[in-house]
Amino acid sequence: MAKVSKGLAPLSATILGVLIFVGWLPRWIAITIIVLGLVALVASCVSLYFNPIFAAVVISLWLLTGIGLMAIVTALLLWLTLHIPHLFPTLPAETLKEVSAVLTGAFTTFAGVMLTKEMEEGGGFFWPGTQFKRGLGSVFSNPPRTPPANSTKWQAVYNDRVHGGPRGWGLRARLRRAKILTTP
Protein backbone atom coordinates (compact mmCIF):
# COMPACT_ATOMS: atom_id res chain seq x y z
CA MET A 1 0.00 0.00 0.00
CA ALA A 2 2.87 2.38 0.76
CA LYS A 3 4.25 1.99 -2.76
CA VAL A 4 0.85 2.76 -4.23
CA SER A 5 0.50 5.95 -2.18
CA LYS A 6 4.01 7.08 -3.14
CA GLY A 7 3.34 6.45 -6.83
CA LEU A 8 -0.03 8.16 -6.91
CA ALA A 9 1.35 11.71 -6.68
CA PRO A 10 3.63 11.51 -9.74
CA LEU A 11 0.98 9.58 -11.69
CA SER A 12 -1.68 12.19 -10.88
CA ALA A 13 0.70 15.00 -11.78
CA THR A 14 1.58 13.45 -15.12
CA ILE A 15 -2.05 12.87 -16.06
CA LEU A 16 -2.92 16.40 -14.95
CA GLY A 17 -0.06 17.80 -17.06
CA VAL A 18 -1.21 15.91 -20.15
CA LEU A 19 -4.81 17.05 -19.66
CA ILE A 20 -3.63 20.64 -19.33
CA PHE A 21 -1.45 20.35 -22.44
CA VAL A 22 -4.22 18.94 -24.64
CA GLY A 23 -6.62 21.61 -23.39
CA TRP A 24 -9.05 19.41 -21.49
CA LEU A 25 -8.27 21.31 -18.30
CA PRO A 26 -7.48 25.03 -18.02
CA ARG A 27 -3.89 26.06 -17.30
CA TRP A 28 -4.85 27.94 -14.16
CA ILE A 29 -5.84 24.66 -12.47
CA ALA A 30 -2.17 23.81 -11.85
CA ILE A 31 -1.55 27.25 -10.34
CA THR A 32 -4.62 26.84 -8.11
CA ILE A 33 -3.36 23.44 -6.93
CA ILE A 34 0.06 24.91 -6.11
CA VAL A 35 -1.52 27.78 -4.16
CA LEU A 36 -3.77 25.38 -2.22
CA GLY A 37 -0.71 23.37 -1.22
CA LEU A 38 1.12 26.51 -0.09
CA VAL A 39 -1.89 27.65 1.95
CA ALA A 40 -2.02 24.21 3.59
CA LEU A 41 1.68 24.46 4.50
CA VAL A 42 1.22 27.88 6.08
CA ALA A 43 -1.95 26.80 7.92
CA SER A 44 -0.18 23.73 9.23
CA CYS A 45 2.88 25.65 10.42
CA VAL A 46 0.74 28.22 12.22
CA SER A 47 -1.59 25.64 13.79
CA LEU A 48 1.29 23.49 15.10
CA TYR A 49 1.54 25.92 18.03
CA PHE A 50 -2.04 25.49 19.23
CA ASN A 51 -3.54 22.44 17.44
CA PRO A 52 -1.03 19.80 16.30
CA ILE A 53 -3.80 17.38 15.28
CA PHE A 54 -5.22 19.89 12.79
CA ALA A 55 -1.68 20.57 11.53
CA ALA A 56 -1.02 16.84 11.06
CA VAL A 57 -4.05 16.52 8.80
CA VAL A 58 -3.79 19.80 6.88
CA ILE A 59 -0.11 19.30 6.03
CA SER A 60 -1.20 16.38 3.84
CA LEU A 61 -2.46 18.93 1.32
CA TRP A 62 1.09 20.28 0.93
CA LEU A 63 1.63 17.44 -1.55
CA LEU A 64 -0.60 19.39 -3.95
CA THR A 65 2.20 21.89 -4.52
CA GLY A 66 4.49 19.19 -5.88
CA ILE A 67 1.69 17.73 -7.98
CA GLY A 68 0.92 21.14 -9.49
CA LEU A 69 4.58 21.82 -10.26
CA MET A 70 5.00 18.39 -11.83
CA ALA A 71 1.90 18.97 -13.96
CA ILE A 72 3.34 22.24 -15.27
CA VAL A 73 6.68 20.56 -16.02
CA THR A 74 4.89 17.72 -17.84
CA ALA A 75 2.91 20.16 -19.99
CA LEU A 76 6.06 22.17 -20.77
CA LEU A 77 8.01 19.04 -21.71
CA LEU A 78 5.23 17.94 -24.04
CA TRP A 79 5.17 21.38 -25.62
CA LEU A 80 8.95 21.39 -26.05
CA THR A 81 9.00 17.92 -27.58
CA LEU A 82 6.31 18.75 -30.11
CA HIS A 83 7.59 22.23 -31.00
CA ILE A 84 11.30 21.62 -31.52
CA PRO A 85 10.88 21.50 -35.33
CA HIS A 86 9.33 24.98 -35.17
CA LEU A 87 12.12 26.28 -32.96
CA PHE A 88 14.85 25.06 -35.33
CA PRO A 89 13.26 25.10 -38.82
CA THR A 90 16.57 25.18 -40.73
CA LEU A 91 18.02 22.00 -39.26
CA PRO A 92 17.99 18.80 -41.33
CA ALA A 93 15.65 16.05 -40.12
CA GLU A 94 18.46 13.82 -38.78
CA THR A 95 20.02 16.66 -36.81
CA LEU A 96 16.63 17.83 -35.58
CA LYS A 97 15.94 14.38 -34.17
CA GLU A 98 19.21 14.43 -32.20
CA VAL A 99 18.73 18.01 -30.98
CA SER A 100 15.22 17.07 -29.86
CA ALA A 101 16.52 14.06 -27.93
CA VAL A 102 19.25 16.08 -26.22
CA LEU A 103 16.99 18.98 -25.23
CA THR A 104 14.11 16.87 -23.95
CA GLY A 105 16.58 14.59 -22.15
CA ALA A 106 18.23 17.55 -20.44
CA PHE A 107 14.94 19.08 -19.31
CA THR A 108 13.59 15.72 -18.19
CA THR A 109 16.72 15.06 -16.16
CA PHE A 110 16.52 18.49 -14.57
CA ALA A 111 12.84 18.01 -13.67
CA GLY A 112 13.55 14.50 -12.41
CA VAL A 113 16.30 15.66 -10.09
CA MET A 114 14.40 18.69 -8.83
CA LEU A 115 10.92 17.24 -8.45
CA THR A 116 10.04 13.76 -9.58
CA LYS A 117 12.67 11.76 -7.70
CA GLU A 118 11.65 13.06 -4.29
CA MET A 119 7.96 12.55 -4.97
CA GLU A 120 8.43 9.00 -6.21
CA GLU A 121 10.56 8.12 -3.18
CA GLY A 122 7.95 9.49 -0.81
CA GLY A 123 10.28 11.91 0.89
CA GLY A 124 11.99 15.20 0.46
CA PHE A 125 10.77 18.75 0.34
CA PHE A 126 7.34 18.10 -1.20
CA TRP A 127 6.40 15.22 1.09
CA PRO A 128 4.07 16.20 3.98
CA GLY A 129 5.93 14.15 6.60
CA THR A 130 9.16 16.02 5.92
CA GLN A 131 7.50 19.39 6.44
CA PHE A 132 5.66 18.20 9.56
CA LYS A 133 8.90 16.90 11.08
CA ARG A 134 10.62 20.21 10.31
CA GLY A 135 7.74 22.16 11.80
CA LEU A 136 7.71 20.12 15.01
CA GLY A 137 11.45 20.58 15.35
CA SER A 138 11.15 24.34 15.08
CA VAL A 139 8.13 24.67 17.38
CA PHE A 140 9.48 22.44 20.14
CA SER A 141 13.16 23.36 20.00
CA ASN A 142 12.87 26.52 22.11
CA PRO A 143 11.98 26.67 25.80
CA PRO A 144 9.43 26.51 27.38
CA ARG A 145 8.06 24.16 24.73
CA THR A 146 11.09 21.87 24.62
CA PRO A 147 10.03 18.45 25.93
CA PRO A 148 12.18 16.68 28.53
CA ALA A 149 14.87 14.47 27.00
CA ASN A 150 13.79 10.91 26.15
CA SER A 151 10.20 11.52 27.24
CA THR A 152 7.31 10.37 25.10
CA LYS A 153 6.81 13.93 23.87
CA TRP A 154 10.50 14.21 23.00
CA GLN A 155 10.24 10.96 21.01
CA ALA A 156 7.15 12.29 19.21
CA VAL A 157 9.10 15.34 18.07
CA TYR A 158 12.53 13.89 17.28
CA ASN A 159 12.40 10.09 16.76
CA ASP A 160 11.34 8.28 13.62
CA ARG A 161 9.36 5.86 15.76
CA VAL A 162 7.22 6.68 18.74
CA HIS A 163 6.67 4.01 21.38
CA GLY A 164 3.40 2.24 20.63
CA GLY A 165 2.89 4.02 17.32
CA PRO A 166 3.63 3.59 13.64
CA ARG A 167 7.10 4.18 12.23
CA GLY A 168 7.89 7.23 10.14
CA TRP A 169 6.04 10.44 9.39
CA GLY A 170 3.01 9.30 7.39
CA LEU A 171 -0.52 10.44 8.25
CA ARG A 172 -1.12 7.82 10.97
CA ALA A 173 2.25 8.54 12.55
CA ARG A 174 1.65 12.31 12.39
CA LEU A 175 -1.72 11.90 14.09
CA ARG A 176 -0.20 9.70 16.80
CA ARG A 177 2.55 12.26 17.41
CA ALA A 178 0.03 15.11 17.51
CA LYS A 179 -2.11 13.27 20.08
CA ILE A 180 0.94 12.71 22.27
CA LEU A 181 1.84 16.38 22.07
CA THR A 182 -1.67 17.54 22.99
CA THR A 183 -1.94 15.37 26.12
CA PRO A 184 -0.89 17.15 29.31
Report how far residue 58's alpha carbon sits from residue 61's, in angstroms, rounded to the nearest whole number: 6
pTM for this predicted structure: 0.84
Q: At what angle do helices 28-47 and 2-21 cross, to 10 degrees?
A: 140
Q: Which structural domain range is residue 67 located in?
A: 2-182
Query: Using CA atoms, how far apart are residues 170 and 182, in angstroms rounded to an integer?
Result: 18
Number of domains making up the chain: 1
Q: What is the mean pLDDT of each run of 10 residues along the chain (184 residues)?
A: 72 94 96 97 94 95 92 91 87 86 85 68 78 90 78 87 82 91 85
Backbone angles phi, psi at 161, to 5 degrees: -135, 130
- C-beta of residue 74 within 8 angstroms of C-beta of residue 98: no
- Can you tell me the distance from the alpha carbon of 181 to that of 184, in angstroms, rounded to the nearest whole number? 8
Query: What pLDDT is recorded for position 9?
Result: 82
How deeply is 120 buried, as exposed, middle or buried, from its count of CB atoms within 10 A (0-12, 13-18, 19+)?
Answer: middle
- Predicted pLDDT at 135: 92
Q: Is residue 74 a contact partner of residue 17, using CB atoms and an 8 Å limit?
A: yes
Q: How far apart are the first and last CA of the chain?
A: 34
Q: What gap in Å lies between CA 109 and CA 88, rounded to an integer? A: 22
Interacting residues of 148 by C-beta distance below 8 A, sequence separation 6+: 154
**From residue 1, how far is each of 4, 120, 141, 161 by CA, in Å?**
5, 14, 33, 19
Can you list the alpha helix ranges (DSSP code H) found in 59-92? 63-87
Local structure of residue 148 (DSSP, 8 states): P
